[in-house]
Amino acid sequence: MEEIIKGLANKAFKAKKENTAYFKRLKKRAPKNIDYIVQDLHDKEFEKTDCLTCANCCKTTSPMFFHKDIERAAKFLRIKEQKFMDTYLERDEDDCYVLKSAPCTFLDENDNTCMIYEARPKACAEYPHTNRKKFTQLTDLTMKNAEICPAASNIIDALKLAVPMNNESTSEKFRKYR
Ligand code: SF4
Ligand code: SF4
């Protein structure tokens, strides 16, 4: 896994032009069941990808903490919300609450578990967002996440095979997903 993670940024950089063009075409010609297709690819990917062998998202990026996230995490840790914010969070350039440090303070680097798993932010629970609705509105985010998330990177690769975007008629190709 370590080698795969190391190569992700380079892989994303090399594929950026092709993927940008692919998603541009996909936005124009996406089959009606595109969310179903991507969710299926997401489920298949996470059947084989064990996040506990990776945790690269927790090591390199911060989730955004909204009020509900702060409330839940503070309650879980049995501390006041203000104390939680003062201790762990800062505001980023968009004025959103993010973690002060990376890797995440709540990551146990011995086994890659999350110490506040049951109360983790929604952004962590949903990461890398490849099973959310309206996937075609999330393609820039998915390309960005593919720079650090091997699963997101694999899902893009699988999507390009499952829904090729070229000049051929697409109807035949999508039949198996209907
Ligand atoms: S969501 Fe992606 S980056 Fe995060 S631990 Fe799982 S595979 Fe790794
Ligand atoms: S709160 Fe938990 S899941 Fe979220 S980044 Fe930190 S360790 Fe990872």
Name the closest-CA residue to atom 3, ligand 2: 124
Structural domains of the chain, count: 2
Residue 79 sits in the same domain as residue 102: yes
Q: Does ligand 2 come within 6 angstroms of the Cβ of 89? A: no
Residue 68 sits in the same domain as residue 107: yes
Q: Which of 104, 115, 126 is the best mutation target for the ligand 2 pocket, counting ligand atoms within 8 Å of the beta carbon and taking the most?
A: 104
Using CB distances shorter than 6 Å, the residues near ligand 1 are: 49, 51, 54-57, 127-128, 148-151
- The number of helices, as runs of H, and strands, as runs of E, in the chain is 8, 4
CB 40 within 8 A of CB 177: yes
Residue 71 sits in the same domain as residue 152: no
Place of tokens 């209907």: 178
Q: pLDDT per residue over 35-74, tens digit each? A: 999 999 999 999 999 999 999 999 999 999 999 999 999 9
Residue 47 sits in the same domain as residue 77: no
Residue 51 sits in the same domain as residue 85: no
Average pLDDT, integer, range 26-39: 95
Q: How close is the Cα of 57 to the center of ligand 1, in Å?
A: 6
Q: Which of 41, 53, 56 is the best mutation target for the ligand 1 pocket, counting ligand atoms within 8 Å of the beta carbon and taking the most?
A: 56
Residue 166 sits in the same domain as residue 148: yes
Residue 81 sits in the same domain as residue 162: no
Residue 9 sits in the same domain as residue 53: yes
Residue 116 sits in the same domain as residue 132: no
Banded pLDDT at 178 (limits 50, 70, 90): very low
Whether 118 has a pLDDT exceeding 70, the answer reads yes
Q: pLDDT per residue over 124-152, tens digit each? A: 999 999 999 999 999 999 999 999 999 99
Q: Would you state the pLDDT for residue 87?
A: 97
Whether 171 has a pLDDT exceeding 50, the answer reads no
Banded pLDDT at 167 (limits 50, 70, 90): low
Domain end (from 91, 120, 149) = 120
Q: Would you state the pLDDT for residue 166?
A: 78
Type of residue numbered 131: N
**One-character DSSP codes across 65-125:** B-HHHHHHHHHHHTS-HHHHHHHHEEE-TTS-EEESSSS-TTEETTTTEETTGGG--HHHH
Residue 52 sits in the same domain as residue 135: yes
Residue 45 sits in the same domain as residue 68: no
Whether 173 has a pLDDT exceeding 60, the answer reads no
Helix (H, G, I), strand (E, B) or coil at 56: helix
Task: Give dist(CA 87, CA 100) in Å, integer.
Answer: 8
Residue 155 structural domain: 2-57+128-177
Q: pLDDT per residue over 71-100, tens digit each? A: 999 999 999 999 999 999 999 999 999 999
